[in-house]
Structure 1
Amino acid sequence: MRTPGSDAAADKDAEPFVEVDPTGRYGRYGDLLGAGAVKKVYRGFDQEEGIEVAWNQVRLRCFLEDPAMLDRLYAEVRLLRSLRHDNIIALYKVWTDEKAGTLNFITEICTSGNLRDYRNRHRHVSLKALKKWARQILIGLDYLHSHDPCVIHRDLNCSNIFINGNVGQLKIGDLGLATIVGKSHSAHSILGTPEFMAPELYEENYTEQVDIYSFGLCVLELVTLETPYNECDSVAKIYRKVTAGLRPATMAKVRDPDVRAFIERCLGAPRARPSAAELLKDPFFHGLDNDDNINSGAPQAYP
């Protein structure tokens, strides 16, 4: 039996929402999960389903004089709403708060954060586990690239891939730089993270194969625990090495010849690069069971 004042005491002890969405379903907590140049991501809660979510918030007044950026933000939201896949971050709701001047959208949350931070926290991981992660990224890319119309991520790197560490499930996120292309599968603008950008991106004429190049560098980072081209101290030096076809210095640290050959396939000339679907059939993944997409790896350490 509740005593008088017990409800008030319970409310006082409850973690308070900083704000709620117009329907009252989603609440935002004050703690920040991440922040980028464009948006901040807070921990949120879906009161209808009883699950934690990510509350993404963009202050629109920061971009009132940059209509191209605003268009890109709304494009991300429209894009996310059209995508449904186990290896792609799902969008649940979106709305604009005119009074606060914010664009808000609720997405699913990955309990263990991004793959870069997760890998750095867990430095002893089996090659089998790394292969499972790599395969999930490819499955997500294959979905994007075979989507009608084709979707090119253009900014794939380990900080834009998220993980539920308890089950080892990966999800590609941060599709803010993604572009939808027609039947020609070609795009023409320079966007991305310099260390992970394929050489043809700088030439402003490329296809979804730029994501395969970035994927190869993600695998390299997962194996070596170092960001590609960390030997370069400026974007200009990265540009010169990439456009000259010079590999990151960390390639020398890849001891396993099969791993090295797999990465090299991903970093080849655009027309020589396999598609995500072709890479999924690569002998590199032989020996993994179908249910190994989600389960964790064997105990032996790698690298």
Structure 2
Amino acid sequence: MTSSGEERAAAGKTPIGDDAASDSDADGAEESPDKRWSKRREQVKQRDVPGIDVAYLAMDNETGNEVVWNEVQFSERKNFRAQEEKINAVFDNLTQLVHTNLVKFHKYWTDSKSEKPRIIFITEYMSSGSMSAFLQRTRKAGSPLSIKAWKKWTTQILSALNYLHSSDPSIIHGNLTCNTVFIQQNGLIKIGCVAPDAINHHVKTCRENMRYMHYIAPEYENKIDVTSAADIYSFGICSLEIAVIGGLSGCQNGSSEGPVTEDVIEKAIRSLEDPM
């Protein structure tokens, strides 16, 4: 990896202070039950995404590869117990997924001893960062995006979604944003951070952050049955975010930290020279 790549990867790691290492030993590590995965004390900032409470850099002790240790915390023990069987079935399916454009899901286990149970799962470490971070860098540098690049990236996202939706049983990603899409230096796209419906209603998700509300399909808000169409809605917003010069926040009046409204989305669509 080039020095600039190493700098970007290092920038995605944040040391955790001693007061945040209650579950760690003197070196700040926690291990998986089978001792294969060792959590470090560095939080992985690039994985600070909707649906994941906290993520750390970790080591695969068998291969020596760096991975990501993700933690999802349930609000109450009773919520976890009521859905434990369903959750295990869903995560068992996730470990079976193999696709070029999906972040590899290695292993999961549950920690139900505490008052607020945790689901811990190990995923591939994407050192090059998220699509959101990549777009921020390229826009800051003034680099234009070609329609060819847009098609190359969005086609890969669709390929991953099609694989998920075609699985038996079908898997709804439920958490697709430009923060859960990752881009490697060779242009390979991978999507990660699947938030199955089995855990959506009991953990911290993007619905708690107004900045991500525009990615959420209306059926989530209306609390009706969610289908693969919800992922396609989110895909459309991601595609628009990638295509628009300055991004959707660039179409807002005032602060870019506020929610992206329907008017902002309509303005972004009208700004496209090629409606695609």
In structure 2, distance between residues paired with 1:167 and 1:139: 17
The answer to whether the 8 Å contact 2:51/2:195 transfers is no
Q: 1:206-253, CA deviations, whole angstroms, 9 ceiling, x for partnerless residues?
A: 532232222121111012242378569987x94xx49xxx95321122
CA change 1:120–1:178 in 2 (3 A) is farther
2:203: which partner in 1? none
* Contiguous gaps of at least 5 residues in structure 2: 1-26, 199-205
In structure 1, distance between residues paired with 2:265 and 2:59: 44
In structure 1, distance between residues paired with 2:51 and 2:101: 24
1:119: which partner in 2? 135
- 26, 49, 73: which one aligns with 2:37: 26
Q: 1:175-221, CA deviations, whole angstroms, 9 ceiling, x for partnerless residues?
A: 11457xxxxxxxxxxx9653023445555255322322221211110
Query: Is 1:150–2:166 an aligned residue pair?
Result: no
TM-score normalised by structure 1 residue count: 0.62
SS in 1 for 2:175: coil
Q: 1:254-301, CA deviations, whole angstroms, 9 ceiling, x for partnerless residues?
A: 12x2xx2x3xxxxxxxxxxxxxxxxxxxxxxxxxxxxxxxxxxxxxxx
Q: CA deviation at 1:66?
A: 3.5
2:227: which partner in 1? 207
- 144, 160, 163: which one aligns with 1:140: 160
Alignment-mate amino acid for residue 143 of structure 1: Y
- 44, 49, 70: which one aligns with 1:56: 70
CA change 1:153–1:18 in 2 (3 A) is same
1:285: which partner in 2? none
Alignment-mate amino acid for residue 162 of structure 1: F
RMSD: 3.4
Q: CA deviation at 1:81?
A: 1.6
Q: CA deviation at 1:51?
A: 0.9
What is the correspondence of 1:47-86 to structure 2 with a 5 Å cutoff? 47-60=61-74, 62-67=75-80, 74=88, 77-86=91-100
Identity %: 30
TM-score normalised by structure 2 residue count: 0.68
Q: Which has the larger radius of gyration?
A: 1
In structure 2, distance between residues paired with 1:27 and 1:95: 14
Q: CA deviation at 1:108?
A: 0.9
SS in 2 for 1:252: helix
2:271: which partner in 1? 253
The answer to whether the 8 Å contact 1:58/1:102 transfers is yes
2:104: which partner in 1? 90
In structure 2, distance between residues paired with 1:59 and 1:208: 25
In structure 2, distance between residues paired with 1:248 and 1:69: 42
SS in 2 for 1:174: coil
SS in 2 for 1:151: coil
* Contiguous gaps of at least 5 residues in structure 1: 1-15, 180-190, 263-303
Query: Is 1:107–2:128 an aligned residue pair?
Result: no
SS in 2 for 1:66: helix
1:176: which partner in 2? 195
The answer to whether the 8 Å contact 1:116/1:159 transfers is yes
Alignment-mate amino acid for residue 197 of structure 1: I
Alignment-mate amino acid for residue 152 of structure 1: I
2:58: which partner in 1? 44
